[in-house]
Chains A and B, each alone.
Chain A
Amino acid sequence: MTAKTAPFLRVRNLTKRFGQFVALRDISLDVATGDFVCFLGPSGCGKTTLLRAIAGLDPQDQGLIEIAGRDVSHLPPAARDFGIVFQSYALFPNLTVAANVGYGLVNQRAGRAKIEARVAELLALVGMPEQGTKYPVQLSGGQQQRVALARALATSPGLLLLDEPLSALDARVRLRLRDEIKMLQRRLGVTTIMVTHDQEEALAMADCIVVMNQGVIEQVGSPQDIYRNPATAFVADFVGTMTFLDAEIAGPAALRVGAIELACPDAARFLKGSAVRIGLRPEEIRVRNIDGGTPNQIATRVTTLDFLGSFCRAHLKPEAAPNVAILADFSLNLMRDLAVAEGQPLTVALPPESLRVFSKPS
């Protein structure tokens, strides 16, 4: 997160229940001015509930929300100064694109000419100039979402809320719109919160990711931070792919998986003898340039290979621990050079610094 003085959005001890179900449990969060923040988590984790509480659409039961230094905890949505875009676009079908974009401007009693100029400016901004006279039904999904974005930005809100804006679009359009939204946000500098369940989307777009699970925040951090140093096994599993293995701490910087001893500086955080889980990203597994001095070498056998386009995902079975499976991603290049094939033996190295140790859930 870029360091700035006072946060633009401050959330403190937010709790929201639906009957017996606790959707948000004592959430506290700061969002810096101009940041692009993603709420990331599986469905039902509370990310949309948190967004709607910030918007005032589903008010919290307890807790404080401050926007730009103003306590808005109990204000209705219209008094909070935000623009919002929904997964369903929520465009008014009976109004033209221009009327949709100008919907909030009419209320500000600006002159007709001024509104028209602003609408044209916004449509140009989202890459849809000259389309103002069409109706939403005549537009593609991606175009509709652009119009929804223009409508949300029309009143120049201080905060832009995006509720799974790309989920209803097909893969190609999603990729393009993802970049465009990110560029637009950078250009306007508007503080933005996006809810998504797609980790790839969050990693690509956000300045700061808030990973949520079961109503609590698991971790807040930059995309690199979240990916490289996941705070919990949940984060590690949800963001990217990881192999998890049961292990035991064998020393200040060593652990044991079955019969295999591994060096691991991260193990220092735990007491010797305690049972832990270790995580390892598939792309961290090394095959090239292994010599006698390379630490954590293990002899394995390739059980299956999944072809995934630009790379292959191998399932490796260590010779010393046959009931363990380790995932490894190999480039096609590497596959060709080393003649990797199913059933073949393969010596790999697990770089000590890439092994993450997590406490075992009791």
Chain B
Amino acid sequence: MSVVAIPSAPAARLSREEWIMRLGVLLLVAWLMLTIAFPLWALLSKSFQNADGRFIGLANYVRYFSTPTLYGSIANSIGVAIVVTMIVIPLAFGYAYALTRSRMPLRSLFYAGAMLPLFAPSLLSAISLIYLFGNQGLLRGLLFGGSIYGPVGIVVAQVFYCFPHALIIAVTALALADARLYEVADALGTTNARIFRTVTLPGAKFGLINAAFVVFTLVVTDFGIAKVIGGQFNVLATDAYKQVVGQQNFEMGAVVGMVLLVPAVLAFAIDRVVQRRQVALLSARAVPFEPKESRLRDAALLCFCLVVVGLLIMVLGTAIWASFITYWPYNLSLTFKNYDFGTFDQSGWSSYANSVMMAALAAIIGTTIVFTGAYLVEKTKVFAGGRMIAHLLAMLPMAVPGLVLGLGYVFFVNASWNPLNILYGTLLVLVINCVAHFFTVAHITALTALKQIDPEFESVSASLKVPFWRTFRRVTVPICMPAILDIAVYLFVNALTTVSAVIFLYGPGTKLAAIAIVHMDEAGATSGAAAMASVIVATALAAKLLHILLDRVLFMRWQAWRRR
């Protein structure tokens, strides 16, 4: 053997390697504490204080539950959420069934079409409904004197907004079918209806339950739609905003935030329990299901999908079309004047620049922290306790509505004792808040990608005396590049479109486009709001297209090793 192994003092260098891992885990825990746990703690403690910051026990809660206009919102929020869930889940299931269990043409295009609402702020659908059914609505006659402002408007807008979220889960649930179960059922002479009842539905059951909770939580915690189209109908999300922004009653705002946390945490907990039971259902040896030929079924499902996707496009399209209209509905000639945002809102186009800047920073900073953090959690063996805490903290934001986290930030960052209060009103605090708010999904994506990598890579590189960070850079990151891009785009699009996470946190120079929409709508400049929403949609879609393109290039060029 010509090359001699070098026995030079490896012990010292190694303790350094381990030391760096430990430092990484500590930094991660500290970051998550600072950006997730402490703000929530600040919110919790605020709800037990009076305006002077003195502890007053449950007094705020007592006042909340003895004020009908306040606690009435609980029933309103839950009622609306239940109705929306009951509409969205069957729709999403039918649509997902068409995508996964039929030979209907253009399935991937139908999937992409259904994803469109993800690229718009939630309140875009509300704006569209106002253009269609509002006081000056084109189709107002269809309401027979009823009003779109209130629960009806909220429900319709929420259905539009929640549909893709439910669809993603339903498609995943239905895609995981074992063809052999169907073959066995068929061989036993089972009728189609019975197969559907005994094989299809049970297989998708957990996915549907999961989707129902996701939709329920989305509706309860969403702020934008209720703000724009809720009218006099109070819900929890708008209450929090009114208490804090309208009445400067921070303590009551904190109480509403805590109340808002309950359904979300409950849904999250139930979902965890359900998910844990799901694992046993899937076997690694399942044979993928291939739908059989059936013209009638495919035609029926195609019609259904066309109607659904048509409605989605109509809602999205109405806002975009309306943003080019001179004077709705009296002068339908096209114009660009609605895009001269300065005439509606003093921040003009600068709020859009802020948004793009903020979203880009959130994507870059967030992806770095999330992926490195997930690597430390999944692939290192130091500080078992610390890594578990980090993982739990990373899972927490899923259960925390953006509005609640935002409120927590107000109390935490704004506190006079906190040296971080120099951040208040800066773009950075918006970035940090967004990263924290969308941490969970990004974290799970990174973990999933990392779990697919051979667990022995770290062992091999240790045996070859290669420090872990070199393997991280040379092997782990390149292999996970598609997942890393996914995370970055997810963070970018969500940071761009979110309203609730940032509504309390912007400063004079850092107003975001999504907030400008709320303000223009409040001021009655709906056309400006529609125009700004359209700009956001265009930007988010452009980011997604860039992602797809980049993915292709990556696959062709840098991921040659994936091809046989």
Interface residues of A (CB under 8 A from B): 55-57, 75-79, 81-84, 86, 88-90, 92-96, 103-108, 110, 114, 117-118, 121, 135-138, 151-152, 154-158, 161, 188
Contacts and interface: CB of A to CB of B under 8 A. Distances in A.
A152 B466 CA distance: 12
Given A95-B475, A104-B465, A75 B5 contact: no
Given A57-B459, A77-B459, A118 B7 contact: no
Interface stretch (B9-17, B63-71, B486-494): B9-17
Nearest to B463: A84
Interface in B522-564: 559-564
Interface in B463-484: 463-467, 470-471, 474-475, 478-479
B375 to A, nearest CB: 15
A94 B478 contact: yes
B3 A76 contact: no
B459 A90 contact: yes
A77 B467 CA distance: 11
B3 A155 contact: yes
Contacts of A90: 454, 456-457, 459-460
B466 A103 contact: yes
B461 interface: yes
Nearest to B453: A93
Nearest to A74: B11
- Sort chain B's interface into a size bin: 35 or more
A98 to B, nearest CB: 13
A122 to B, nearest CB: 9
A79 B2 CA distance: 21
Q: Is the interface of B mostly helix, strand, loop or mixed?
A: helix
Interface of B: 1-7, 10-11, 13-15, 17-18, 454, 456-457, 459-467, 470-471, 474-475, 478-479, 559-564
A121 B464 contact: no
28 contacts: A76-B15, A76-B18, A77-B459, A78-B466, A81-B7, A84-B463, A86-B454, A86-B456, A88-B456, A89-B454, A90-B454, A90-B459, A92-B471, A93-B561, A94-B479, A94-B559, A94-B561, A95-B474, A95-B561, A103-B466, A105-B3, A135-B561, A137-B563, A137-B564, A155-B464, A155-B465, A161-B463, A188-B1
A152 B456 CA distance: 13
Contact of A77 (B454, B462, B478): B462
List the 7 shortest-distance A-B pairs measured between CB atoms, nearest first: A104-B464, A77-B462, A79-B10, A90-B456, A135-B561, A156-B1, A76-B14
Contacts of B456: 86, 88, 90
A90 B13 CA distance: 24
Contact of A94 (B11, B15, B475): B475
A152 B14 CA distance: 19
Contacts of B460: 84, 86, 90, 103, 151
A188 B559 CA distance: 36
A137 B562 contact: yes
Contacts of B470: 107
Contacts of B6: 108
B185 to A, nearest CB: 33
A156 B464 contact: no
A81 B10 CA distance: 10
A84 B459 contact: yes
Contacts of A114: 3
**Which of B3, B10, B15 is packed against the most chain A CB atoms within 10 Å?**
B3
A155 B5 contact: yes
B454 A75 contact: no
Contacts of A103: 460-461, 464, 466
Contacts of B559: 94
Nearest to A79: B10
Contacts of B15: 76
A78 B478 contact: no
A75 B10 CA distance: 9
Contact of A78 (B3, B457, B463): B463
Contact of A121 (B2, B11, B14, B562): B2
Contacts of B457: 90, 92
Nearest to A159: B463
